[in-house]
A and B are shown apart, each in its own frame.
Chain A
Amino acid sequence: MGDVTHQISERIPIHLVVNGVSHTLDLVPWTTLLDALRDHLALSGTKKGCDHGQCGACTVLVDGRRVNSCLTLAVMKDGAEITTVEGLAKDGALHPLQQAFIDHDAFQCGYCTPGQICSAAGLLVEGHAHDADEIRELMSGNLCRCGAYPNIVAAIQQAMGQP
């Protein structure tokens, strides 16, 4: 049980734009962005793996930057634009990374895949990866316990327009 002297039930109204849709939520301040997405907005594409920032399954884009949503308090992102794996496809067409993951069979169980794809989307925007070594290094925050790494790197290279 928590310390009863600090039981605070106050909810805080916050505004998020998630995948282009505006939402107003009343959240207790200890709600992570991950739990807000999954439990309050029913966007279960973002996965809870370790819940400690070690696996990357919860990776989403906040104002275009990839972050671990499990270590982010939703209340601190009031006003932010969030992109989850559900928001990557446009007009019924898969995001190039989604298509590349299919083309390269870049998963086995698929649990890490939404985080891998969102992380790779952030990587492409950042523009600091130019070869397979740099992709591996800059994707090291996303673990794949099935070991699909070679195919994940190949998929990202395809999305980057590399042969």
Chain B
Amino acid sequence: MNNFQYARATDVADAIRLLAADPGAKLIAGGTNLIDLMKENVERPTRLIDISRLPLRKVEETPDGSLRIGALVPNSDLAYHPLIEQRYPLLASAILAGASAQLRNMASVGGNLMQRTRCAYFYDTATPCNKRHPGSGCSAMDGLNRNHAILGTSAACIATNPSDMSVALAALDALVHIAGPSGERTIALTDFHRLPGDKPHVDTNLGTGEIITAIELPPRGFAQNYSYLKIRDRMSYAFALVSVAAALELEGNAIGGARVALGGVAHKPWRSLEAEAALRGQAATPDHFSHAADLLLQGATTRSHNGFKVELARRAIVRTLTQAANATPQSQAHKKIA
């Protein structure tokens, strides 16, 4: 780990000022990804701005029925919050599918969004990586790319975003509240992360000196028919090869509304409005789920080791939508498939 200056922000404005003043500075809250990357010399901040004591820890209902979640609420506190368990169980399930109990206790929800989209070559400073060192090349392209992206890739980067929480937030149409030197703004979670394009070193659309202050969940929580299915190389505490967040509104056996977001397959949570539109008005049957999977996976491109992800994702989508329709969501503790 490099040496750095340490500053404790006194309020959000102070954090913004400190962050905007030093291009080498980084915010730290839980630190679970940043400290790890610093230990590998991938991140080398000149200054860490400690925001962990800022008053951004509330979960509040808003007058319009939304839920506003402070950026510093720990992942575990959010997953077990009664309002999340009752109204947004898809989000609770996705959070509990991620990391370990210790890391969930440490990590903030804002920090979860800010964790780097990454792969093993990003961590390996002995190898080229366009994300770590722009223009140096991508070692994954013709290297070990079994875990890598199949959708939204570019010639520069095929890394995946490992967040489970973000996949559920994408499906729930969450909003991200941001404060910065020029004031406050709100953007959709689905617009928060970027596809790699020719700038894979830029993971998000946050501007200079900007800080996440809250996540907002709209009233529709899909609490009856949802499931988060995570497929990985071991039963717990591993990144997804493919994950699926599915949420349905059913009218009898007909689909009134549908949301599907994929994790482990792209540089950001992956949604297809076309696939969701195709489900609306249809019967909740495997045929229709399969058609939606085709639409979601349209344009998938694979490398030498990750071709299996296309069929895995297709089957996972059908299975997760079936679980959602049957109101038999995937349990992250019991791993039962129904």
CB-defined contacts of B76 to chain A, threshold 8 Å: 126
Rounded to whole angstroms, the CA-CA distance of A126 and B1 in the bound complex is: 32
How many contacts between A and B, using CB within 8 angstroms? 102
Q: Tell me the dominant secondary structure on chain B's binding face.
A: loop
Q: A112 to nearest B CB, angstroms? A: 13
CB-defined contacts of A51 to chain B, threshold 8 Å: 39
Q: A136 to nearest B CB, angstroms? A: 7
CB pair A29 B48 closer than 8 Å:
yes
Apart from the given pairs A52-B36, A66-B105, A139-B101, 13 other A-B contacts in the complex at a CB distance below 8 Å: A3-B44, A6-B3, A29-B5, A29-B6, A30-B1, A51-B39, A68-B106, A71-B35, A71-B36, A71-B103, A72-B31, A138-B333, A140-B100
Rounded to whole angstroms, the CA-CA distance of A56 and B235 in the bound complex is: 17
Rounded to whole angstroms, the CA-CA distance of A103 and B264 in the bound complex is: 42
Q: Can you identify 18 A-B contacts, CB atoms within 8 angstroms?
A: A8-B4, A28-B3, A29-B48, A30-B3, A53-B100, A56-B100, A66-B101, A67-B102, A67-B106, A71-B103, A75-B50, A119-B102, A123-B101, A133-B335, A137-B236, A140-B100, A141-B100, A141-B103
CB pair A75 B237 closer than 8 Å:
no
Against B, the Cβ 8 Å flags (1 = close, 0 = not) of A105-131 are 000000000000001001100101000
Query: Nearest residue in B to A123 (C-beta to C-beta)?
Result: B101
Contacts A52-B39, A53-B36 hold; do A137 and B2 have CB atoms under 8 A apart? Answer: no
Asked if A38 is at the interface (CB within 8 A of a chain B CB), the reply is no
CB pair B102 A53 closer than 8 Å:
yes
Asked if B32 is at the interface (CB within 8 A of a chain A CB), the reply is yes
List residues of B (223-244) whose CB comes within 8 Å of A's CBs.
Answer: 235-237
Asked if A94 is at the interface (CB within 8 A of a chain B CB), the reply is no
Rounded to whole angstroms, the CA-CA distance of A116 and B175 in the bound complex is: 38
CB pair B105 A67 closer than 8 Å:
yes
Asked if A46 is at the interface (CB within 8 A of a chain B CB), the reply is no
Which of A10, A52, A76, A140 is within 8 Å of B50, CB to CB? A76
Contacts A8-B4, A66-B105 hold; do A76 and B44 have CB atoms under 8 A apart? Answer: no
Q: B100 to nearest A CB, angstroms? A: 2
| B-side interface residues, number (CB < 8 Å) | 35
CB pair B2 A6 closer than 8 Å:
yes
CB-defined contacts of B32 to chain A, threshold 8 Å: 53, 68, 71
Query: Nearest residue in A to B1 (C-beta to C-beta)?
Result: A30
Contacts A67-B106, A73-B31, A133-B333 hold; do A29 and B4 have CB atoms under 8 A apart? Answer: yes
CB-defined contacts of B36 to chain A, threshold 8 Å: 52-53, 71
Asked if B52 is at the interface (CB within 8 A of a chain A CB), the reply is yes
Q: A26 to nearest B CB, angstroms? A: 13
| A-side interface residues, number (CB < 8 Å) | 39
Contacts A76-B28, A134-B333 hold; do A53 and B103 have CB atoms under 8 A apart? Answer: yes
Query: Nearest residue in B to A3 (C-beta to C-beta)?
Result: B2
Q: A28 to nearest B CB, angstroms? A: 7
Rounded to whole angstroms, the CA-CA distance of A88 and B224 in the bound complex is: 43
List residues of A (53-76) whose CB comes within 8 Å of B's CBs.
Answer: 53, 56, 59, 65-68, 71-73, 75-76
CB pair B101 A119 closer than 8 Å:
yes
Rounded to whole angstroms, the CA-CA distance of A83 and B232 in the bound complex is: 33
Q: A141 to nearest B CB, angstroms? A: 2
CB pair A7 B3 closer than 8 Å:
yes
Among B6, B32, B46, B52, find the residue whose CB has the most chain A CB atoms closer than 10 A: B6
CB pair A126 B50 closer than 8 Å:
no
Against A, the Cβ 8 Å flags (1 = close, 0 = not) of B92-123 are 00000001111101100000000000000000
